[in-house]
Amino acid sequence: MDDGQQSSSGGARPSSSSNNNSNSSGSMTAELDPVLHSIGFEIGEVSPSQLTGRLPVTAKCCQPFQVLHGGVSAMVSEALASMGAHMASGYRRVAGVSLNINHFRSAAVGDVVLARAAPVHVGRSTQVWEVKLWKQDPSTQGKGPQISESRVTLLCNLPVPDNLKHAGDALKKYAQAGRTTTSRL
């Protein structure tokens, strides 16, 4: 999918000014990734072909110079790529083996960062995902300057241990619903 305003199903995405889903996206994020939720990240679209989300930049996710910590960008990248790879592999277990991230610009406290993860390669044993982060343009609520880009390589189709066979249930619930919230990526 290009960087336009269409969802993966071809329909228009809801406007970010719609508040109907902000609470549900927060609870969805809490269920899918408690660590992302703890820093205020909100997952938007959830599908095997794309995941999106947004992060209001607060002091909690900044380094001492009050800009977004590079490790937070890396954590967002790995989390979104891992969820996508898990779905794309039919909910088999995946494991990240490589993360490369380039930081282009900073995002300061008060900015909102938009994120989009999409597969570059989905193979039988490995997947490669590209994750881009942008500052949100306050005037349009759309993408502003890109702040980082990463490549995440994951082993996929690993066996799921019996004690973890329900680990993907929440992801299945939201992906099957074709869930799209307030993301404008």
Is 149 a catalytic site residue? no
Give 110-175 as a DSSP string: T-EEEEEEEEEEE-SSEEEEEEEEEEE-TTTSSEEEEEEEEEEEEEEEEPPPGGGTTTTHHHHHHH
- Residues pairing with 56 in the sheet: 112
- 45, 78, 130, 149: which is the annotated catalytic residue? 78
Residue corresponding to tokens 């799921």: 160
Q: Catalytic site residues? A: 78
